[in-house]
Structure 1
Amino acid sequence: MSDDGSKQGNLWPMPKFRFEVDFGTQLTKISFQEVSGMDQEVQVIEYRHSNNVLFSTIRMPGIAKYGNVTMKRGIFVNNNKFWKWMDEMKMNTISRCTVLIKLLDEGGRVSMQWQLNNAWPTKIMGTDLKSDGNEVAVDTIEIAYEQLIITNGEF
Structure 2
Amino acid sequence: MTRSRPDPVLGFNFTVSLVETASAGATIQATFGVAPAQAGFSECSGLDVTLQPETYAEGGNNGALLKFTGRASWSNIRLKRGIVTAAHLWQWHYDFIEGHGKRRDGVITLQDERGKAVRSWRFKRGLPVRWVGPSLNAMQSQIAVEEIEIAHEGIRATGAGGGNLVSAVSNLFS
Any idea what the Cα deviations from partners look like across 1:19-73, whole Å, max 9, x if unmatched? 1101125870100001111110000111123x34334321100000001111110
Partner of 1:60, secondary structure, is strand
Paired residues, number: 146
Partner of 1:72, secondary structure, is strand
Q: Does 1:133 align with 2:140?
A: yes
Instruction: State the AA in 1 paired with 2:70.
Output: G
* TM-score, normalised by the number of residues in structure 2: 0.77
% identity of equivalent residues:
26
Aligned partners of 1:52, 1:117: CA distance in 2, in Å?
44
Partner of 1:86, secondary structure, is helix
Among 121, 142, 154, which residue is 1:114 paired with?
121
Alpha carbons 2:111, 2:119 under 8 Å: kept: yes
Q: Does 1:8 align with 2:15?
A: no
Any idea what the Cα deviations from partners look like across 1:108-147, whole Å, max 9, x if unmatched? 1111001111111110000011111101110011111111
Among 48, 57, 68, which residue is 1:48 paired with?
57
RMSD: 1.9
Alignment of 1:56-95 (within 5 A): 56-77=64-85, 79-90=86-97, 93-95=100-102
Query: For the structure 1 residues 55 and 93, does the alpha-carbon distance in structure 2 shift closer, same or farther, using more than 3 Å as the test?
Result: farther
Aligned partners of 1:25, 1:146: CA distance in 2, in Å?
14
Aligned partners of 2:147, 2:82: CA distance in 1, in Å?
9
The Cα of 1:93 is off from its aligned counterpart by 4.2
Residue matched to 1:124: 131
Query: For the structure 1 residues 124 and 56, does the alpha-carbon distance in structure 2 shift closer, same or farther, using more than 3 Å as the test?
Result: same
Alpha carbons 2:56, 2:66 under 8 Å: kept: yes
Query: For the structure 1 residues 111 and 52, does the alpha-carbon distance in structure 2 shift closer, same or farther, using more than 3 Å as the test?
Result: same
In structure 1, runs of 5+ residues without a counterpart are 1-6
Partner of 1:123, secondary structure, is strand
The Cα of 1:88 is off from its aligned counterpart by 2.1
